[in-house]
């Protein structure tokens, strides 16, 4: 189990966030910024400070290397599922990393955990970053697949479906992302 404990400086009463690490950063980035849980803890702490909210209490869980070790739902208010690195070895774009649609044991166990939290613990918040949001969609019955056109990085205007207002009641139905 890779549970690194609460973030330092956590104030009593702050939300308890279990950060599920779906990979480790590339070595040069990890040396400079730390693991994904450390990066997100700093972001959450800064956001709490900026908005005068209690500092979140974070714990890290390496679900890729320890696929049988997950936090007890009683011990957190939210889970944050990190991204998975994608590195390119050369001009041929040989990739190393993970995709939500891969049939890896740890990915299947992560999907099962997300599904259990979503249906059995509806008060728990689930947040996904990149790979994390794809794995949430897949765990809840969405289809995640490779883009036949390749990687897509762009600024796009999106329009939310009518029924999305139930979830996103405080944002415009059209936005640029």
State pLDDT tens for residues 2-25.
Answer: 444 444 444 457 999 999 999 988
Output the pLDDT for position 177.
67
13 vs 10, 84, 125, CA distance in Å? 9, 30, 16
16 vs 5, 77, 144, CA distance in Å? 11, 5, 29
Output the pLDDT for position 69.
95
How would you write the pLDDT of the chain (177 residues) with one tens digit per residue? 344 444 444 445 799 999 999 998 888 889 999 999 999 999 999 999 999 999 999 999 999 999 999 999 999 999 999 998 765 554 445 456 688 888 899 999 999 999 999 999 999 999 999 899 999 999 999 998 888 887 777 777 877 777 776 666 666 677 776
Determine the 3-state secondary structure of 121 from DSSP: coil
Output the pLDDT for position 169.
60
Of 51, 101, 53, nearest in space to 77 by CA: 53
Q: How many angstroms separate the CA atoms of 80 and 95, rounded?
A: 24
70 vs 35, 73, 120, 160, 176, CA distance in Å? 18, 9, 15, 33, 35
């Amino acid at each position: 189990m890779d549970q690194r404990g609460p973030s330092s400086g956590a104030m009593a009463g702050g939300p308890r966030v279990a950060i599920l690490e779906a990979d480790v950063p590339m070595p040069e980035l990890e040396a400079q910024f730390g693991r994904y849980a450390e990066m997100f803890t700093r972001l959450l702490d800064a956001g709490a400070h900026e908005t005068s909210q209690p500092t979140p209490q974070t714990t890290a869980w390496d679900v890729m290397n320890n696929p049988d070790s997950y936090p007890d739902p009683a011990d957190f208010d939210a889970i944050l599922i990190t991204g998975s690195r994608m590195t390119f070895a050369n001009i041929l774009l040989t990739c190393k990393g993970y995709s939500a649609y891969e049939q890896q044991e740890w990915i299947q166990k992560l999907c099962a955990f997300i599904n259990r939290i979503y249906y059995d613990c509806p008060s728990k918040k689930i947040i996904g970053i990149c790979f994390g949001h794809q794995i949430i969609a897949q765990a809840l019955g969405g289809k995640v697949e490779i883009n036949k056109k390749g990687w897509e990085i762009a600024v796009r205007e999106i329009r939310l479906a009518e029924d999305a207002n139930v979830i996103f009641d405080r944002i415009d139905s059209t936005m640029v992302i």
